[in-house]
Amino acid sequence: MRTTLFHTLFLFSSIGISQALLLLARNSIIGATADEDDALTTQAVSGNSDCAAASAETSFSLSFISYGNYTSIPGEGEDDLSPPQLVSMSFAVSNAANGVYTICAFPLGHLTVPSDGSGAPATWVDNSAWQACADRKDSDGKHRFTIATGAAFALSDRYISVNQTWFCHDDAGRLVAYTGIANATLNLTCADGGEVGGYHVENCTSLDVSLPVTLL
C-alpha cells in the first residue's frame, strides 16, 4: 500500500503536489469512504475524556512513514503535465493525549528553472522548512476549534519534527490549550522501485515510531 501511494502521485500533479499527497494519503492509508469523511475532520468529544491528564506526558505515534523520489525518464512523459521530479514525504500521526489521528503529506522542496536562459533542465531544491499537515476539528459541545499539526523533515540527516496544538475540555469544564513537539532521526530503508509511468522511483519507508512529546 505504501508503494502504491507514491506510484500514482504523478497522475495528480495538475491539481497541486501537496493536495495530491493529502488525497492519496487519506484514501490509501486510511481507506476512507465518502461516508467516513466527517470522521476525518471532526474528533469526537469522547476521545478527550482523559485529555488534560494525558497531555502532561503524551506521545506522537507515527505510522505509514514513506519518502518518495520520482525522477522522469528522458524522452518519456514530455507532453503531459507531470513534473520532471517530485520528492515527497508522508505519514500518519496520532496524539496519545486526545486520540486525534491526522495525515502529514508534503513535497520536500521545489523545482527551479535556471534564469540565465540557457535552457538547462530544472533542478530540485531541498526544503526542510515546517509544513502544515491536515487540520482536524474538535468540539466541546458549544464551540468548534482547530487542532493544527505541522511537520518538518530534513532528508540529509533523516531528522523529522512534528508539532501540534490541541485543546482539552475535560478539566472542570475548562478549555485548555497545549502545544507540543517531538523529534527523531528516522531509520529509513530504501528500495529501487523501478520505472513507473515514465518515472524512475526510489521509495524509502520506516517502521512505526512513538515519540515522546515536549510541551512548549
Q: For the chain, which residues score pLDDT lower than 50? A: 1-47
Supply the pLDDT for residue 95.
Answer: 95
Supply the pLDDT for residue 10.
Answer: 37
Supply the pLDDT for residue 86.
Answer: 84
Supply the pLDDT for residue 163.
Answer: 97
Distance CA 175, CA 138 (A): 12
C-alpha cell read off for 17: 503536489
Contacts of 34 (CB under 8 A, 6+ apart): none
Supply the pLDDT for residue 180.
Answer: 97
- Where do the structural domains in the chain lie, given as residue ranges? 2-215
Q: Which fold has domain 2-215?
A: AOC barrel-like (2.40.350)
